[in-house]
Structure 1
């Protein structure tokens, strides 16, 4: 039976302790009290709309469904009113007199400890405390000296009641006559602001708070009569009814980008978690100078109310180029970042968002290759980090793009599927080589035997590229293999297509014997700096090359790893010499005359250091430069003699 006169009640013990913690321990981000009140009002309106949909009789059915916020600076009050379901006397006692979620001592101890920890860290952030423990309405006491709630249930014939408290341990509930400005239906929360919270009576500040946290609430929010939430929750609309212009306008309003997005990803899921995602692929990378690494995530909404911005747990880092949001029905409004990170529903959402995005990119790559090429140019570097996502490897692999020897310039792109389609008959591996540029790779001696055989090689320009291909290992039963790990005899089954680099006649048997002896002399000169010296079958235009031992990582990868480990000494490799190169033929002639000739020593040192330089291991070029200058000085004299001057 409802009370007919005003009565005073004491809060239950746990509420008194809670209010003490909120009033005295929370200092920052107090603005969330408004988010909580608007969320409560929105819930009340949702419930009323449900009652209407099932044909229930309600009080004042002609009232619009809206939330009204008004300021009275003279009185120092802020009022948040809604035309929702309202509360009966018993509901008022239950909802605003106790903590329905938990009244245990353990609950309050944890709350007290959390507030103390936050205060010790100098933050005392209300978002964390309120969110973690689900006590949204009581957050109003962070800013209020006194709170008055006047409400009338939507059930026909119900009286209006006023609940009032200063948060000090008691509250009063009394009936309100119609002559006392009681709402026709719904609830009106009047906040008497504390002196240190009167900045919340500023209309501009309130508007910014609403736009940040509650901009997409389904009902009109009127601030001093002006509608604030003017941007519709576009993701809630059917996709076939949304125009490209609407998507573009929404994207620009949320990101401040001046260009249209490159593409839109919009989908809804009912199981295992009910949520809607609206994400955009920007036309340009926002990380122009590598300064935004780690700055990514989708905004998380619960029933149109913003819970947290840029929530990283909704996306893997390699999809961090996405801008947008996720809105779910399956999470509570009062959920903290700490709880989110541990929530299994969030992990399920992230898994679905990842798979849907990869499928969307796959469709784009197949049906709009030019658009996908634009995507790759801007976001490919970030996307490549997906090589570690083993669960989505089958979707990730086909989306990779690389330049290759098949293209005329560095702008061409091929997929692994495209490479496989062009493979020679009998070819069992996809070959790749890394370098700082297309020009540098073209001069790499390891590419020569592939050019001679007419075999395509992928060109890898970024350090991450080799990590990607080495981690994948194989693609559609084709091994992914670094070019320098391929043995010349493995390519013997392919016919030569380029004979242009063969400049010297075949060696005689006597010269071959002398060559073997000279190889021994080269080993003697280089000593322990190399593991071996041998004749090369891989070279056509270069005189020498360093080859890694079987089973080791590529030279480019070695350089990266040694840099990370701060190793300065070059790794020991095998030096291969091209016996058909004019320089080696000249050195052979020098060796025949005098195996101890100083020029032979100088030339061997130069060949070795040039090979080190090509591999990126020459840490001190001073001796090499001095040697080159000396050779130039002598050769210029010889040249003049030959010219007869």
Structure 2
């Protein structure tokens, strides 16, 4: 058969170079990754065999073969296998987003091997120890196979193989220097047994190798489901290794959760909260969900139906006692038992986070920093337990640098205060410097600073928390217990307010306010109107939203506003006054982080005005 030589995708080539030329503290990871890939292939074949008898296999297993004389190690499985196109797509390229970030993290990391599993590039880890890697694979049900080979130098060869067995075999041609000490001689059977026992004992399929005397076969792993073993028989390291396997993450989980439900409907669950967010957490096609088993039989890899979407970062397995083995995703979404599991698991995860919040604040802060924006998405769904989410949520606040819980906010509320004040925006710096906060700061009222995109939406749908109404400081009339603007003063400004309303066609109304202490003016939305940020979000999603006309509020104690009133009384027809009105409106818009309709005109007006004052 003719051999075809192809080049790696550019990002894959860079990744190979990092693998080959970097120094790693834990090279054992490559064998764990190969076994994990083989286990995934067997899971896929078992699932495919549920609907197609021709794809079933009598003895699903993984074989590890070593040859000390040839210095090779081979990991072989009789799983689903790959077609030629799949080999090119899965190995010749990194067919996933986030590649640039992957490379950056690998270059900057002091321990690059820790990042291998996290980014799902485990196959490439073979080049840490290999001069050359050979892969022979045949897709189950196909007539021919494919041979892939590369020395990790930027190219690989492909060849059609007629007699390849179904499944995949990866042969690692080991570098001589990796055999200098017995601990890391990967052609040594005892080294293989050590690594399999340490990292892959929980794999559900038998991992077989030649016996210590070189004859016969022995199974190296226990294959006992970790979640089915008594708690006192599982140590923390076993939990950590299991998490690394299913999450493809080389770091330790932040929290481990075990759950057993007994009675008319039984199931077991072993869940993990990661210590850092996956790079695809906010991508529609990201790998989310937990594994579903039925009576120890693998059914589904990424079952999104077992947890609500806002907990999609949770990894783990659920093993149910009596679900249908031919269950489909459509049926899964409608199954009553699945809905019961979903509610129970979500409740348990949130309870665990709440316990973490009280018992280990530092661990909780890590959790909320990594996953808070995703968790708050649950507030958008009326079917979810919104109170449970708000109970574990924390928010930036004017009270200090550290985020605060709602319970702590309420405990600090001033006497007579019956509302939870908040302001939304794109960043803390922008919101903190907003003129809308001036009176609240002056009177000692704490304001939550909500800067995640989801915050703009959930505060619209949740009226209160524990009887305390959420109130935006940038909407409606200010309701602080301060002196109102006297009616006679309002009357003295009536002409100016009316003139500004006519001159500035973009505003809905112009009025005096006690909201401001330092700034001359600010823009506010109606109590039921859209905020500018929410308006932008709807437009970004393709929704046709009419521009919201907002209210211009003036600070009657500011010298600029007082001078503008006097000037209007004396020379109402002066064109310079209209320019001043534009500048006043523009500065109010900029102060809240808004966008000017005509920045060039605003800059010219400002420059001309400054020139006259020099």
TM-score by length of 1: 0.61
Secondary structure of the residue aligned to 2:404 is coil
Q: Which range is displaced more, 283-292 or 392-401? A: 283-292
Q: Deviations over 1:79-103 (max 9, x none)?
A: 99xxxxxxxxxxxxxxxxxxxxxxx
Determine whether 1:249 maps to 2:269.
no
CA distance in 1, matches of 2:418, 2:474: 16
CA distance in 2, matches of 1:445, 1:434: 13
* 2:549 counterpart residue number: 572
Structure 1, unaligned stretches of length 5 or more? 1-28, 43-65, 72-77, 81-140, 145-194, 206-213, 497-505, 637-645
CA distance in 2, matches of 1:376, 1:525: 47
Q: 1:229 to 1:41 in 2, by over 3 A?
A: farther
* 1:267 counterpart residue number: 259
* 2:131 counterpart residue number: none
Secondary structure of the residue aligned to 1:199 is coil
Structure 2, unaligned stretches of length 5 or more? 1-43, 66-75, 79-139, 144-160, 172-199, 211-216
CA distance in 2, matches of 1:231, 1:329: 19
Secondary structure of the residue aligned to 2:529 is coil
CA distance in 1, matches of 2:342, 2:487: 69
Deviation at 1:588, TM superposition (A): 3.0
Q: 565, 570, 583: which one pairs with 1:588?
A: 565
Q: 506, 522, 544: which one pairs with 2:500?
A: 522
Q: After TM superposition, list the pairs within 5 Å mapping 1:448-487 onto structure 2.
A: 448-485=438-475, 487=477
* 2:290 counterpart residue number: 298
Secondary structure of the residue aligned to 2:268 is strand
| 1:431–1:481 CA contact under 8 A, matched in 2 | yes
| 2:308–2:346 CA contact under 8 A, matched in 1 | yes
Determine whether 1:444 maps to 2:434.
yes
Deviation at 1:372, TM superposition (A): 1.1
Q: Deviations over 1:133-187 (max 9, x none)?
A: xxxxxxxx9689xxxxxxxxxxxxxxxxxxxxxxxxxxxxxxxxxxxxxxxxxxx
| 1:555–1:615 CA contact under 8 A, matched in 2 | no
| 1:299–1:308 CA contact under 8 A, matched in 2 | yes
Q: 276, 279, 301: which one pairs with 2:271?
A: 279
Q: 1:623 to 1:397 in 2, by over 3 A?
A: same
Determine whether 1:395 maps to 2:379.
no
Determine whether 1:239 maps to 2:224.
no
Deviation at 1:562, TM superposition (A): 4.7
Q: 1:544 to 1:215 in 2, by over 3 A?
A: same
Deviation at 1:389, TM superposition (A): 4.7
Deviation at 1:401, TM superposition (A): 1.1
| 1:541–1:581 CA contact under 8 A, matched in 2 | yes
Q: 342, 359, 367: which one pairs with 1:350?
A: 342
* 2:403 counterpart residue number: 413
* 1:491 counterpart residue number: 480
| 1:294–1:317 CA contact under 8 A, matched in 2 | no
Deviation at 1:456, TM superposition (A): 0.7
* 1:96 counterpart residue number: none
* 1:74 counterpart residue number: none
| RMSD after superposition | 4.2
Determine whether 1:359 maps to 2:351.
yes
Secondary structure of the residue aligned to 1:264 is strand
CA distance in 2, matches of 1:39, 1:240: 36
CA distance in 2, matches of 1:415, 1:508: 40
* 2:307 counterpart residue number: 315
CA distance in 2, matches of 1:468, 1:79: 48
TM-score by length of 2: 0.64
Deviation at 1:340, TM superposition (A): 3.5
* 1:627 counterpart residue number: 605
| 1:215–1:305 CA contact under 8 A, matched in 2 | no
Determine whether 1:377 maps to 2:343.
no
| 2:290–2:314 CA contact under 8 A, matched in 1 | yes
| 1:570–1:617 CA contact under 8 A, matched in 2 | no
Q: 1:256 to 1:266 in 2, by over 3 A?
A: same
Q: After TM superposition, list the pairs within 5 Å mapping 1:5-154 onto structure 2.
A: none
Q: 1:444 to 1:315 in 2, by over 3 A?
A: same
Q: 528, 534, 537: which one pairs with 1:557?
A: 534
Q: 1:621 to 1:260 in 2, by over 3 A?
A: same
Determine whether 1:535 maps to 2:512.
yes
CA distance in 2, matches of 1:364, 1:215: 30
CA distance in 1, matches of 2:529, 2:77: 72
Q: 1:228 to 1:592 in 2, by over 3 A?
A: same
| 1:546–1:611 CA contact under 8 A, matched in 2 | yes
Q: Deviations over 1:419-477 (max 9, x none)?
A: 11111111111111011222211222221221122111100011211322222211111
Deviation at 1:604, TM superposition (A): 0.5
Q: Deviations over 1:264-318 (max 9, x none)?
A: 1111111452111111111111026844655301011223232110111111110
Q: 1:530 to 1:368 in 2, by over 3 A?
A: same
Determine whether 1:200 maps to 2:172.
no
Q: Deviations over 1:508-548 (max 9, x none)?
A: 97x8765333333323322x432222222221111112222
Q: Deviations over 1:211-250 (max 9, x none)?
A: xxx9968785657724265564211122233222221122
Runs of 4+ in 1 over 6 A off after TM superposition: 33-42, 66-71, 506-509
| 1:403–1:458 CA contact under 8 A, matched in 2 | yes
- Structure number, greater radius of gyration: 1
Deviation at 1:485, TM superposition (A): 3.0
| 1:515–1:588 CA contact under 8 A, matched in 2 | yes
| 1:482–1:554 CA contact under 8 A, matched in 2 | no
**Higher helix proportion:** 1
| 2:289–2:314 CA contact under 8 A, matched in 1 | yes
* 1:610 counterpart residue number: 587
Deviation at 1:568, TM superposition (A): 8.0
CA distance in 1, matches of 2:541, 2:168: 54
CA distance in 1, matches of 2:163, 2:201: 23
CA distance in 2, matches of 1:508, 1:257: 66
| 1:298–1:326 CA contact under 8 A, matched in 2 | yes
CA distance in 2, matches of 1:443, 1:396: 29
CA distance in 1, matches of 2:434, 2:248: 45
